[in-house]
Structure 1
Amino acid sequence: MDIEERVRGDVTVLVLEGRLNLVSAGSLKARIDELVSGGSVCLVVDLTTVDFIDSSGLGALIGGLKTARQAGGDLRLAAPSEQVRAVLALTNLDRILTPYASVDEASHGW
């Protein structure tokens, strides 16, 4: 999985591409931890081009959310694919990791 970062004011957008699974979840979580430690606590994860997520990927997102919130920030999901939406809904994690339609919508209010 590729991770591209874009800074939009106080918000750091992580643009993911590929599969968010056991192989890639650790690197995502580590990057989120680095960003939060560096003071970037308002994070948007752009899932537009993520075509698959498994429990490890969900764990990385939940862990990132916890890290960001403990630092006084938040982690929001933007534009998840149908597969990602389905997994979030099946696990009821869409109540905790609310999916937004776009990066602009997820960034609003910070």
Structure 2
Amino acid sequence: MNISIDVKEKDTAIELTVSGEIDAYTAPKLRETLFPLSEENGVNMVVDLSGVSYMDSTGLGVFVGVFKNVRANDGQFKIVGLSERLQRLFEITGLADIININSQIEGGV
């Protein structure tokens, strides 16, 4: 189980590109990377999951926590590049109604 996380920062804009699988083994690494960034005031965070082949509930938990942190610090949080399978996971859990998810990848940092 491998995960790769690429971080690009420019002012308050942070773009993260995640590749691999997000599960109980890799979620701690994802959390360690995202949480400190999510605590910055007024951050605009975009997470690209187009390279993620699998995600379980542990990964969803990481994104819920990061989303709450970003919002608590007056920031914006968005997930892009979801496969059909991941999009459905967010929809089934109701997170698609709370977290800004968009299958399209827009201009980067």
TM-score (norm 1): 0.84
Count of paired positions? 106
2: CA distance, partners of 1:15 / 1:77: 10
Q: Which runs of 5+ in 2 are unaligned?
A: none
Q: Return the alpha-carbon distance in structure 1 between the equivalents of residues 35 and 95 of structure 2.
A: 21
Range 29-38 or range 55-64, more displaced? 29-38
Q: Note the aligned Cα RMSD (angstroms).
A: 1.9
Q: Percent identity?
A: 25
Q: How do residues 1-110 of structure 1 correspond to structure 2 at under 5 angstroms?
A: 1-8=3-10, 10-39=12-41, 41-104=43-106
Could you tell me which runs of 5 or more consecutive residues in structure 1 were left unpaired when the two chains were aligned.
none
Contact 1:44 1:103 in 2 (8 A): no
Residue 36 of structure 1, CA deviation? 3.0
TM-score (norm 2): 0.85
What is the CA–CA distance in structure 2 between the aligned matches of 1:79 and 1:102, rounded to whole Å? 6
